[in-house]
Structure 1
């Protein structure tokens, strides 16, 4: 009875839309006025103590087990509920009594390799099912409302490379090169000599096969190496997309210093990553099940490290709405191949990825997280960059 009362108190201030909660004992309550926009059904009670201890972990695991169902008129009811929770001023996700001190996490080179492989070495066949043909697993860039995801990912690659104002024959390092679309585009279409590095063995094999198949061995190479261990002459250009979210809070400063060390004195870097404008944060459920060791840095936190590394910001661009649309398309693609994914993984794995993708969409939609591109030079260099932004769009 006490647990039920605590649930009622918790949900009474958790959403800014009308939500019906169906409890495990067959009773229901509707919170908010107007047409119900989502229903949350508890098939079993989830310990209020565990929710208070860490809401994202307790409720995320309950959803994975099937103890919670979320339904509604929208195609993405989980996103609807989580966006309403993020946007609610009194949401339990933002209520101080549910917040916890960010835990320290190991990010040695061995730990970083384990973390990356746990996520990205799920298998190329899995990612091929729902990513676009470019195999790009980061925020796309929608220049037009009707851009397909593939076109938007190609747009993103060119948007990044154009910002560098690259000159043929120069060198580029891609830190965390993924499945290689950016680095190979830089080689094929911009005439750059490119080095890609990754800690994923699956990605390494995929990119090396692309280099061999496309005859790019004279312009591109890929290595399984931690950026902290890379031994190479300084590069004219550096790109790093969706990377610094994985290095850990304690290593952010060293990460930007390593970027500076790997840059030529007149070099240019484009660092693209998820950032919280409200300050850095972790999510216990994401850390345990999706991105081990993950940490989303705050905007001012990143800026402090950039300055301490002797780098200078030449341009910044926020792409939050682009990432919301990207994750929404990923979720649609993922649902469309449910039966194929089920041949590779069990239903709990599918529920885990479903809530992950929709939670990402809700976080971007509500402004809980953002994605920002930082165009950096060493000190007050960057003399080769044009005076206006026009060059980025030609």
Structure 2
């Protein structure tokens, strides 16, 4: 088996360098360059499972401790492997790849009950865990980095500002529906800074409690509300609709239903902004390890899977923006924060969970850097006249919002005041 593993890895690693120690103690190198990563297999079983199904088993054997990093990190290994051209190096891997493509719609079937269970699987974890690595506002979606090296908190604020600008909140007290409102950060921003009346809906009981508490603390109960409700049950209409990081959980077979409901909820001159993870290439399927452990029922669509449903629902696409590496940088920041709080993570969970989430954050980052994932922001309306003719209004709105943010910021106080 050692010889087979060596042959396969040498076919995969065509740039960079990888050193491998097998379970029997044999050492070999793959790749033309000096090895930057050294891995050791703790069992022959781990070697066999990796050869049979690398997409699933790489995460499994790292999480279980059967794959040990002797040099470099799991992020270094994933960057090396995921940047290669050959990703299904064995016959079994290719067969499983095609089977998963055929069966992908079953994994993405998300009726109401299953949708709520899928959300609970990820978002109803101990809220203290997310506080360890997210920004102060607990934004669990792609940040918007306006310049290299920007702080995560500033980039997440810029994301909210960018979205608010695209919603064309050009009058006070416009009604806004936030589909998938999370811990409430965006809804509170739209109410406090953009002076909108916001209704947020979520399927996560953990997030709902936090969002409602935050609204009360800010004295915004009359301006923003949050409810545990499926978007399909929400009555309208609304002047504006926003959805950030929720569409990935809808499922391809439900896209038509999603956009028909959005049109029903949107006022005749309303504007909607959809912010979601997508892919540059053709339709595919969710990595099986991610689907099992992190986001069951989740999928990142190609735009070709989304726009036909928008057209059939009778909505007009008024703007599309692609955020390319913003999520890679967001995930890099999250991973650094997560690992910096390692001891606190272990007090809340265990070593296996820590390795699982390190793999999730690193693998997701590399998927954005090397495997064609991106974030799209699609602005929609029922009438094309609902938004200005040129995009100049976005920058102008951002300038106004930035001024309001500065005015609403609490004053600095000296120690002891």
Equivalent residues of 1:267, 1:382 under 8 A apart: no
Q: Unaligned stretches of 5+ in structure 2?
A: 397-417
Q: Match of 1:118?
A: 121
CA distance in 2, matches of 1:310, 1:300: 17
CA offsets per residue over residues 309-358 of structure 1, 9 Å max, x none?
22222111111211000000000000011100111101000000000000
Q: Match of 2:6?
A: 8
Equivalent residues of 1:179, 1:207 under 8 A apart: yes
Residue 22 of structure 2 corresponds to residue 23 of structure 1? yes
Q: Match of 1:333?
A: 337
Against the structure 1 CA distance between its residues 216 and 124, is the aligned structure 2 distance closer, same or farther, given a 3 Å change threshold? same
Instruction: Give the match's secondary structure for 2:19.
Output: strand
Q: Match of 2:385?
A: 383
Equivalent residues of 1:316, 1:374 under 8 A apart: yes
Q: Match of 2:77?
A: 81
Instruction: Give the match's secondary structure for 2:317.
Output: strand
- Which is worse superposed, 86-95 or 304-313? 86-95
- Which is worse superposed, 53-62 or 328-337? 53-62
Equivalent residues of 1:46, 1:59 under 8 A apart: no
Q: Match of 2:409?
A: none
Equivalent residues of 2:41, 2:68 under 8 A apart: yes
CA RMSD of aligned residues (A): 1.8
Residue 196 of structure 2 corresponds to residue 192 of structure 1? yes
Query: Given the alignment, which residue of 249, 252, 258 partners 2:261?
Result: 258
Against the structure 1 CA distance between its residues 70 and 257, is the aligned structure 2 distance closer, same or farther, given a 3 Å change threshold? farther
Instruction: Give the match's secondary structure for 2:11.
Output: coil
- Which is worse superposed, 244-253 or 98-107? 98-107
Equivalent residues of 1:46, 1:62 under 8 A apart: no
Shift of 1:46: 3.7
Equivalent residues of 2:5, 2:51 under 8 A apart: no
Equivalent residues of 2:46, 2:61 under 8 A apart: no
- Which is worse superposed, 9-18 or 205-214? 9-18
Query: Given the alignment, which residue of 84, 88, 95 partners 1:92?
Result: 88
Which has the larger helix fraction? 2
CA distance in 2, matches of 1:23, 1:147: 42
Query: Given the alignment, which residue of 149, 153, 158 partners 1:155?
Result: 158
Q: Match of 1:324?
A: 328
Shift of 1:135: 0.5
Equivalent residues of 2:6, 2:30 under 8 A apart: no
Equivalent residues of 2:176, 2:242 under 8 A apart: yes
Q: Unaligned stretches of 5+ in structure 1?
A: none
CA distance in 2, matches of 1:147, 1:47: 40
- Which is worse superposed, 314-323 or 325-334? 314-323
Residue 332 of structure 2 corresponds to residue 310 of structure 1? no
Q: Match of 2:245?
A: 242
TM-score (norm 1): 0.93
Instruction: Give the match's secondary structure for 1:392.
Output: helix
Against the structure 1 CA distance between its residues 46 and 222, is the aligned structure 2 distance closer, same or farther, given a 3 Å change threshold? same
CA distance in 2, matches of 1:200, 1:131: 17
CA offsets per residue over residues 197-241 of structure 1, 9 Å max, x none?
0011011100111111111111111000111122x2211111111
TM-score (norm 2): 0.88
Equivalent residues of 1:246, 1:295 under 8 A apart: yes
- Which is worse superposed, 157-166 or 81-90? 81-90
Instruction: Give the match's secondary structure for 1:358.
Output: helix
CA distance in 1, matches of 2:259, 2:337: 35
